[in-house]
Amino acid sequence: IITDAKKRYSAGVLKYRQMGYWQPDYEIKETDTLCLFRITPQDGVDPVEAAAAVAGESSTATWTVVWTDRLTACDSYRAKAYKVEPVPGRPGEYFAWVAYDLILFEEGSIANMTASLIGNVFSFKPLKAARLEDIRIPVAYVKTFKGPPTGLVVERERLDKFGRPLLGATTKPKLGLSGRNYGRVVYEGLKGGLDFMKDDENINSQPFMHWRDRFLYVMDAVNKASAATGEVKGSYLNITAGTMEEMYRRADFAKELGSVVVMVDLVIGWTAIQSMAEWCRANDVIMHMHRAGHGTYTRQKNHGVSFRVIAKWLRLAGCDHLHTGTAVGKLEGDPMTVQGYYNVCRDSYTRTDLQRGLFFDQDWADLKKVMPVASGGIHAGQMHQLIDLFGDDVVLQFGGGTIGHPQGIQAGAVANRVALESMVKARNEGRNILEEGPSILKKAAEGCSPLKAA
């Protein structure tokens, strides 16, 4: 069947490259959106024709020329593939660069941009596989998005916490706790020294715990822990639900209870994300983004969408915290590539850096910065590696690495806070924490039995 399908592929009346979608001498405009696709053409399909087909199908083309083309300013509306190169060390794969005119996208709409860029093209017959590796969004288009509702600078001011990473933990087990027991976990974690606790991605309003109970018990725990420690604390209340109406209802209740933060999952979709960001902007609430589902786009190296592109879209759409990977925990990730994602979240201007997977300069045009979140199988013993990799502007989140502590949840939180503060102190004294990390932790553990046990 596959062989037949390949045979049946034909560009139609004219090849895409002849229709103007291949322009190797194209002069890039400052206002163009630039995309880098990794394409794997079907056997026998010329890579340049495949690149032109991607440009065509993600902008104006269909499989044949149409009379109505002549009724538009078709030349500027066509996206232009302007460069194709083999991917080093990956036979059969090519990088294809494509430029899109500003007029092709609606202002302030990720849904519209993605309907073109990752719409039909990913199931297009001339390609075995396609991956959107990187994107340059022009300043003119960036300025049509409102970006993070709070941003990391204002978040630190509101929390009154500076000069160190923030600490968090995901309440575990993921599902099954009653409201009262759940609230107890939140209290213990925050009282022990964490800044944030967090709902898991799949906790919404199941029979064992209705969402209102979760919110009530969690906020009771947050208030008690704040009073006991004198610190601003929060717990990301997951407001993900089946409809926008229900999400707004949950967000309003979180705000009414005094929560500083709400959380949504990536799976709610781009328009829902932009709407919730709008709500957070209007209500001065931090928006935590859990990237649940991203692996379906990002994991395969030859097909899908890179996380650096998703992170760029999310910064435009507006979130304050974003799960960005750890490179050292239970989930896959290469340290250099992951650092590239952090740059996308935190830079004012992201420079091209091929080692970190960044193919374009990106001017963020003063859009607020996103606080990245490192999470997934990390623990106090990796504190030196985490601080070395990510610096201070990050939330380090230890779920199992807090709630699995042998002496209890509060002890787990104490161990993480002491490990963090001793490592930040050592770094500020100019010590090489990557080399000395384990001995710094052992020394700190002499005065802290929870850290010793951890």
d(CA 298, CA 399): 23
323 binds ligand CAP (CB under 6 A): yes
Q: Does 200 bind ligand CAP (CB under 6 A)?
A: yes
Asked if 307 interacts with ligand CAP (CB under 6 A), we say no
Q: Which is nearer to ligand CAP, 170 or 275 (CB)?
A: 170
Task: Work out whether strand 362-363 and strand 349-350 pair parallel, antiparallel, or are unpaired.
Answer: antiparallel
Q: Which residue's CB is nearer to ligand CAP, number 59 or number 324?
A: 324
Of 128, 233, 290, 369, which residue is the catalytic one?
290
Which one among 200, 265, 320, 393 touches Mg ion, defined by CB under 5 A? 200
Q: How far is the CB of 377 from ligand CAP (least distance, A)?
A: 4
Name the one range near ligand CAP by CB under 6 A: 231-239, 241-249, 347-355, 397-405: 397-405
Q: Are strands 33-41 and 80-86 parallel, antiparallel or unpaired?
A: unpaired
Comparing CB distances to ligand CAP, the nearer of 40 and 375 is: 375
199 touching Mg ion, by CB under 5 A: no
> Among the candidate windows 115-123, 128-136, 166-174, 220-228, which touches ligand CAP by CB under 6 A?
166-174
**Smallest separation, CB 414 to ligand CAP (Å):** 17
**Closer CB to ligand CAP, residue 299 or residue 330?**
330
Report the residue number, 47 or 304, with the smaller CB distance to ligand CAP: 304
Establish if 291 lies at the interface with ligand CAP (CB under 6 A): yes
Under rule CB under 6 A, residue 399 binds ligand CAP: yes
Q: Which does 398 bind (CB under 5 to 8 A by kind): ligand CAP, Mg ion, none?
A: ligand CAP
Q: Which of 7, 90, 330, 351: binder of ligand CAP (CB under 6 A)?
A: 330
The reply on whether position 267 binds ligand CAP by CB under 6 A is: no
325 near ligand CAP (CB under 6 A): yes
Judged by CB under 6 A, the number of residues near ligand CAP is: 18
Catalytic residue list contains 143: no
Per-residue mark of binding to ligand CAP, 346-385 (x: CB under 6 A): -----------------------------xxx--------
- Residues of this chain, 229-248, that bind ligand CAP according to CB under 6 A: none
Residue whose C-alpha is closest to residue 371's, from 410, 344, 409, 334: 344
Region label for 293, one of left (φ > 0), alpha (ψ between -120 and 50) or beta (otherwise): left
Q: Is 172 a catalytic residue?
A: yes
3-state secondary structure the chain: CHHHHHHHCCCCCCCCHHHHHECCCCCCCCCCEEEEEEEEECCCCCHHHHHHHHHHHCCCCCCCCCHHHHHCCHHHHCCEEEEEEECCCCCCCEEEEEEECHHHCCCCCHHHHHHHHCCHHHHCCCEEEEEEEEEECCHHHHCCCCCCCCCHHHHHHHHCCCCCCEEEEECCCCCCCCHHHHHHHHHHHHHCCCCEEECCCCCCCECCECHHHHHHHHHHHHHHHHHHHCCCCEEEEECCCCCHHHHHHHHHHHHHCCCCEEEEEHHHCHHHHHHHHHHHHHHCCEEEEECCCCHHHHCCCCCEECHHHHHHHHHHHCCCEEECCCCCCCCCCCHHHHHHHHHHHHCCEECCEHHHCECCCEECCCCCCCEEEEECCCCHHHHHHHHHHHCCCCEEECCHHHHCCCCCHHHHHHHHHHHHHHHHHHHHCCCCHHHHHHHHHHHHHHCCHHHHHC
| 265 contacts ligand CAP (rule: CB under 6 A) | no
Residues from 377 through 406 that contact Mg ion (CB under 5 A): none
Q: Which of 32/188 has CB closer to ligand CAP?
A: 188
49 binds Mg ion (CB under 5 A): no
Q: Which is nearer to Mg ion, 12 or 173 (CB)?
A: 173
* Residue 377 partner contact from Mg ion, ligand CAP, none using kind-dependent CB cut-offs of 5 to 8 Å: ligand CAP
Summarize as ranges the residues that interact with Mg ion (CB under 5 A): 200-201
Q: Which residues are catalytic?
A: 172, 290
Which spans of this chain sit near ligand CAP (rule: CB under 6 A)? 170, 172, 174, 200-201, 291, 323, 325, 330-331, 375-377, 397-401
